[in-house]
């Protein structure tokens, strides 16, 4: 029996590799995990959400950011790339890093078959360690269905939205996000 040894990377090694890589990878406390490429549906959905929020939140204290920027979660030593994040006020950078932020209030993940369980469970648990974090959207690709978690005094409240005629009220930014805008241009089989 042959055992393989997983190499552990320091945070500085990961950051140096990430700057040179063509694709993206997450940092999970010493482990580098390559992220799969997206699909056309995934790209359309995350782009729709970002564009809609960017337009409606202009001239407010809220700023949406796309998946190009890494979210650093100090308590779990994780660096991840959510599909969309919203910040209230100026995004807080991680020290002198210009590519890592710390303080989103809302996070959107467009679910992929390979990452859906992780996004719903472990990643959500890790996100909840972020003090500013108030709202989480999990968006299905293959049907118009969104799970919205909102932080309450007693814990996290789940609301489900299905169908293109509904809208999601985002508590953290006090605005409606229509399901039809999320899925604009997406063809379901």
Secondary structure element (H or E) that encloses residue 33, with its range: strand 31-34
Secondary structure element (H or E) that encloses residue 12, with its range: helix 11-20
Q: What is the pLDDT of residue 37?
A: 65
State the Cα–Cα distance between residues 138 and 169, nearest whole angstrom. 14
Q: What does the H/E/C string look like for 70-134?
A: EEEEHHHCEEECCCEEEEECCCCECCCCCCEECCCCEEEEECCCCCHHHHHCHHHHHHCCCCCCC
Q: Give the other-Cβ count within 10 Å of 60's Cβ.
A: 11
Question: Among 6-20, 53-67, 72-86, which stretch is predicted with the lowest mean pLDDT?
Answer: 6-20
User: What topology does CATH give the domain 37-182?
Assistant: tt1808, chain A (3.90.1570)
- Put residue 85 in one of left, alpha, beta given phi > 0 → left and psi -120 to 50 → alpha: beta
User: Who has greater pLDDT, 14 or 167?
Assistant: 167
**Domain residue spans of the chain:** 37-182
Question: Among 8-17, 21-30, 140-149, 163-172, which stretch is predicted with the lowest mean pLDDT?
Answer: 21-30
Q: Is 140 exposed, middle or buried (0-12, 13-18, 19+ CB in 10 A)?
A: middle
pTM score of the predicted model:
0.88
Express each pLDDT in 42-72 by its tens digit: 999 999 999 999 999 999 999 999 998 999 9
């Amino acid at each position: 029996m042959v055992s393989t040894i997983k190499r552990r990377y320091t945070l500085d090694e990961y950051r140096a590799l990430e700057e040179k890589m063509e694709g993206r990878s997450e940092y999970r406390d010493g482990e580098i995990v390559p992220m799969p490429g997206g699909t056309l549906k995934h790209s359309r959905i995350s782009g729709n959400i970002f564009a809609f929020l960017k337009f409606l939140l202009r001239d407010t204290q809220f700023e949406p950011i796309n998946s190009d920027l890494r979210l650093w979660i100090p308590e779990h030593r994780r660096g991840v790339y959510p599909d969309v994040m919203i910040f209230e006020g100026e995004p807080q950078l991680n020290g002198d890093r210009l590519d890592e932020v710390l303080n989103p209030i809302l996070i959107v993940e467009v679910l992929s078959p390979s990452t859906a369980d992780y996004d719903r469970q472990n990643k959500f648990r890790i996100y909840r360690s972020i003090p500013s974090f108030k709202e989480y959207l999990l968006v299905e690709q293959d049907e118009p269905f969104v799970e919205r978690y909102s932080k309450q005094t007693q814990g996290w409240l789940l609301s489900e939205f299905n169908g293109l005629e509904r809208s999601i009220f985002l508590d953290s930014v006090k605005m409606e996000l229509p399901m039809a805008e999320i899925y604009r241009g997406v063809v379901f089989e």
